[in-house]
Structure 1
Amino acid sequence: MLIDLHTHSRVSDGTESPRALMRSAAQAGVDVVALTDHDQTAGWAEAAEAAEDYGVGFVPGMEISCKTSTGISVHLLSYLHDPKDPGLLAEVDRARDSRVLRARRMVELLGEDFPISWELVQEHTADGATMGRPHIADALVAAGVVSTRTEAFESVLTPRSRYYVGHFAIEPAHAVRLVRAAGGVPVFAHPVASARGRVVGHEVFEEMIAAGLMGLEIEHRDNPEHGRHMLRRIAAEHGLIATGSSDYHGAGKPNRLGENSTSVEALGLILAAGTGSAPVGVDIR
């Protein structure tokens, strides 16, 4: 069984609608897929309906933007939480609103040197989508400033760029507690993806585990092999669920559906622990 628990649609920064994403998963031979848009659950209903149509198991999820007190970005995957839980919803809404303000300021700065405008960025953002740097990257590609999203992130959109602006994000351990309170299963996404920027030290892992962290996304293209060894050791020491996934964004990134996967046993543990929402068409018996 091929299980991919980390994908994105146009509801955040992917390039496919939730329905198209489920179709792509079926075509790629994926048996179970989780939709984990950034700070958004608006794609769940469409994805669930499409998953039934295409014969794919669907796990509702979300990727939460977090940040440590030292400014290091952390992403937390949440599976099967209650999308209407007031505590989690309030913090996620705050983070999403902050992303919009941050994007506007970055576009203002970029507009001083490049032919890019807020209107152009909006043209590359689906209605209601969580605004992020990928949408700015798409606008830069359309304006001929860069050739690809990847080139944009490696140049003008890198945190080291003068155009970069930070945004509010939830403290990681607090996010873990919110997810657990909402009946969800919190899993640390690509924890050692050092090519993306600074990664956290053991003290943050310990804080998140003490707060109720339940899993680590280990098999991910951005986790270097030596980092995966460390993550497997941490998972074994603390009884954490080990997952793997593609982090698929459609045409926005080279990641391919099912390129890394989660075991049936790990999925079973997630399904048993999540109480805030229900999977659709998932049978692992």
Structure 2
Amino acid sequence: VFRFTIRAPRAEAPAGVKAAAAGRPLRILLAEDNQVNRMVVQGMLEKMGHSCAVAVNGVEAVKAVESAPGFDLVLMDCNMPEMDGYAATGKIRLRYPDMPILALTASAMQEDVDRCLAGGMNGFLSKPVSLQKLSETLAEYADRERQAPLSLAVDETSLLAHFDGDRDVLDRLVTAYLETYPAMADRLRRSLGNGEELYAAAHTLKGCLANFFARRAVELAEILELQGRKRRLWGARRRCFLLLRECERVNGQLRGMSGGRRAA
């Protein structure tokens, strides 16, 4: 029996992957019950220089986030035993509304995408996940965090630049928004049993929030807007609570930017 060894050069990531992964290393939680899928994605993440903790079901994913809330992002399989990814996302959102959560799904049909977004996820990746797509997606979220820290409800840098540093104009806009916000919030609460009214109320509030670069609040309003348009109202009450809680953070930051001169 003859044996021989071929020494091949170490495989390098494609140039596009290197460029996309050039940002800071991320701390990622991977929730995936399938061992093979878990090993594949974990290997990709480590190849790109990210650290990865794993959970094999939704219960473990929730516990991992609660015990170590410093994750930059969660990759969440939708179908897992004990607790699926949708339920796990809902529980995580109640305590950590700003944490980016991306669905891992074997189906990319529009109905599945809508369910992911309506469930509070920020986006999705279709299985099997490619190294290129994973790298590009993670780079996008890393860039987003650098531009607007998730701890802030409003991207003040972008907001001031949008108004060319004119704080008088900004103060007038803040005053007008804060005066109309209670009515918009009340309209949203009263619309929860009617899809058409929910769509209209969420759409109006989203438009106002977009003026202030309140990205997380806008994302939450978009989810409710989608639920209203699709007439799928399951979970809308909880998401309304999350949105209005985020709006309070937005309002508080806007008042601070106005120097406390404006009344709510």
TM-score class normalised by the smaller sequence: 0.3 to 0.5
More helix by share: 2
The two structures have a TM-score, normalised by structure 1, of: 0.31
Greater Cα radius of gyration, structure 1 or 2? 2
Length-normalised TM-score, structure 2: 0.33
